[in-house]
Amino acid sequence: MSEIMRLPDTELEIMKVIWESGNTLSTSEVKGLLERHRPWNVSALQTLLNRLIDRGFLESYKEGKNRFYTPLIAEKDYLAVENKAFLEKVNDRSVTKLVASLFDSHSISEADLDELAAFIRSKTGGE
């Protein structure tokens, strides 16, 4: 797969539970994990799982009466594409502008900024 496409929110919700599990999951296991947040219709879930297969995000196989799903795209790879696109589209590729906007809107705290500063120091060898 040459380019990772952006997922609609509902399909991303499904991928998040699959990524979080770290395992190959059956349809009923995916449904159970999703239902922690809200009820899911099996037919609709199967349609969305098939779309994720068509988009190259999942592969599946059948074992007995159960169908199992395995991610083909890692969460970190998807997030890298999404975050880059967001940064370019909304913040003119400026991380500083993004962080300032989050801070000004009270979406992150001073403690979050301290954590970010520590991360930057660890990655750049600074103090």
Same domain, 35 and 80: no
Q: Are residues 14 and 60 in the same domain?
A: yes
- Indicate whether 3 belongs to any domain: no
Tell me the pLDDT band of 96, cut-offs 50, 70 and 90.
Answer: confident
pTM: 0.79
Residue numbers of the domain that contains 114? 75-124
| CA–CA dist 49, 40 (Å, integer) | 13
Average pLDDT over the chain, rounded to an integer: 91
Same structural domain, 16 and 59: yes
56/81 same-domain check: no
Interval 52-81: pLDDT, tens: 999 999 999 999 999 999 999 999 999 999
Distance in angstroms (rounded) separating the CA atoms of residues 42 and 100: 42
pLDDT of 1 strictly over 60: no
Same domain, 64 and 45: yes
Does 59 share its domain with 97? no
| pLDDT, position 76 | 95
Domain membership flag for residue 58: yes
State how far the alpha carbon of 57 is from the alpha carbons of 23, 69, 78, 82, 95, in Å: 14, 10, 10, 14, 28
pLDDT category, 127, cuts 50, 70, 90?
low
Closest CA to 3 of 83, 89, 71, 73: 73
Listing DSSP states for 52-92 in one string gives HHHTTSEEEEEETTEEEEEESS-HHHHHHHHHHHHHHHHHT
Higher-confidence residue: 97 or 47?
A: 47
How many domains does the structure of the chain reveal?
A: 2
**To the nearest whole percent, how much of the chain has pLDDT over 90?**
61
